[in-house]
Amino acid sequence: MSDKLRHVVERFPDLAGMIKQHSADNRFFRSLCEDYGEAVEILRGWEASNSGRRSKRTAACRVLIADLEQEILLELQNRIDGV
């Protein structure tokens, strides 16, 4: 499991098996997970920063992360529904 995928599994531990399987089967989903992991890592970097832009950047990262979480959950629901 990649470091980026690990962030998604940590966020949704009850869905770990489905996340791993779907990321192995679906390039788009794997890309979503990688984007999510990258956003989490960037957020952590900004949270540790002393930059004057920290507040604005962390807020933007949190919005992106929330959007990616919704998209990840939608993709998993579509898999369950067979869409």
- pLDDT tens-digit readout, 6-38: 999 999 999 999 999 999 999 999 999 999 999
* DSSP at 14: G
Of 78, 79, 15, 6, give the one whose Cα is nearest residue 36. 6
pLDDT at 53: 84
Instruction: Provide the mean pLDDT of the chain.
Output: 93
Q: Averaged over 52-64, what is the pLDDT?
A: 92
Cα separation, 70 vs 2, whole angstroms: 21
How many domains is the chain built from? 1
pLDDT tier at 83, thresholds 50, 70, 90: low
Residue ranges making up the domain that contains 28: 3-81
Q: What is the model's pTM?
A: 0.90
Distance CA 62, CA 18 (A): 24
Which residues, in sequence order, are CB contacts of 43 under 8 Å at separation 6+?
58, 61, 62, 65
